[in-house]
Amino acid sequence: MKSKNLSENILRSVKGKGFKLIELDSVIETNHIVERSGESFRRFIFSFNDQNGNELCLRPDLTIASCLRYLNEKTKGTAKVYYYGQAFRKNLNKTDPIIRNQIGFEIIGSKNEKKDDKQIIETALKSLTKFNYSSGNLVIGNVEIFKLLLNKLDIPKRWRLRLQRHFWRESYFNDLLKRLETNSDVDPTIVEIDKKKFQKMLIGDQSRQIAGRSVNEILTRFNNKIKDPRRAKKGRNVSKIIKEFLKINCPIDQAAKKLNSFFIKNKVNLRIENEYFPITKRKISKLDIKYSASFGRELEYYTGMVFKIIVKFKSKKINLINGGRFDNLISDLGSSKKIPAVGAAINLNN
């Protein structure tokens, strides 16, 4: 009963901020998940085939279900919605629950991005007042700032896109940085050998498949590599700058100053204003507000502001609320145009 009352109080709180309740489909097409997260994610979902042979799955994520609803109903303009229910996902840790009880709220289709970011966090903070916690942290990051930094660094376009695309895969991302440092792909001897192979492949069957790619795809990538070379010394410098950037962690009221000092020190032509941060106060109620440059790597669909709220109940710390901006997700799911979106989810399992 206590848990039910808590959920109802949170829902009333969210509704009071102007959000409209919606119902979400419990079952979605598996390809929406696999195409976005990769085949490796299949092991985490509960899937099955319907009578027509279509592969379906229990929703592993309420945000994707909400975005599909927005897309399928051909919603026009801004949708300010909230929902509650369960997400179903297998875990590597067998002690973690497979059913996640969540309350989510989102603003989709609005162009007032900075204002919406702030409203989502304000709604999260209002919901938090329904919990009896002793202390906590609100950690804010911004994936957009990392992308801005990449665009200012002196590296080939293909490397810029590669690092941006794999930012959320921390282990692989670190491997890419090591490759930048070692410069194995710009070794003169190896490049000359590759050029000979390139010439030989030009006169062969370009539709032939090698390791899952056509010869034509391989030739195109290598041609881009020749036209847009990476100098050895600059690769090491770029890796050093990125690693130092990701270590920036400070109270939110110091974030802009810390970042701009970092950019000046490393001769990066970039300046960040406070508008990139929906909150600039160091403390709100029982929460310390912090900025982390590396935060935002948990989900690949985040594109801008991201945040999490960790609170302390007695002696236990719990990651209670997570959220952020996901402007590319609806277009990834099939929209012909980019639709801005930002939201958050409250984890009720704990």
Domain hosting 214: range is: 158-239
* Residue 146 belongs to a domain: no
In this prediction, residue 145 carries a pLDDT of 96
* Residue 143 belongs to a domain: no
Domain boundary among 239, 256, 287: 239
Counting the structural domains of the chain, the total is 2
* Residue 234 belongs to a domain: yes
Q: Six-digit token pair at 334?
A: 């099939």
Same structural domain, 104 and 209 = no
* Residue 306 belongs to a domain: no
Same structural domain, 101 and 174 = no
What is d(CA 118, CA 197) in angstroms, rounded to the nearest whole number? 54
- Per-residue model confidence as pLDDT tens for the chain (350 residues): 456 788 899 999 999 999 999 999 999 999 888 777 667 778 889 999 999 999 999 999 899 999 999 999 988 889 999 999 999 998 877 778 899 999 999 999 999 999 999 999 999 999 999 888 899 999 999 999 999 999 999 888 888 888 988 888 888 999 999 888 875 555 555 556 666 776 777 777 777 777 666 777 777 766 666 555 555 567 889 999 999 999 999 999 999 999 999 999 999 999 999 989 999 999 998 999 999 999 987 777 889 999 999 999 888 898 999 999 999 999 888 888 999 999 999 998 86
Task: Name the β-bridge partners of 321.
Answer: 309, 346
Same structural domain, 170 and 105 = no
Same structural domain, 116 and 210 = no
In this prediction, residue 149 carries a pLDDT of 96
* Residue 141 belongs to a domain: no
In this prediction, residue 23 carries a pLDDT of 95
Domain boundary among 181, 215, 239: 239
* Residue 284 belongs to a domain: no
In this prediction, residue 12 carries a pLDDT of 93
In this prediction, residue 28 carries a pLDDT of 93
In this prediction, residue 1 carries a pLDDT of 43
* Residue 93 belongs to a domain: yes
* Residue 281 belongs to a domain: no
Continuous segment of H or E residues that includes residue 100: strand 99-108
pTM for the complete prediction? 0.81
In this prediction, residue 66 carries a pLDDT of 95
Same structural domain, 105 and 230 = no
Domain boundary among 177, 212, 239: 239
In this prediction, residue 269 carries a pLDDT of 95
In this prediction, residue 252 carries a pLDDT of 97
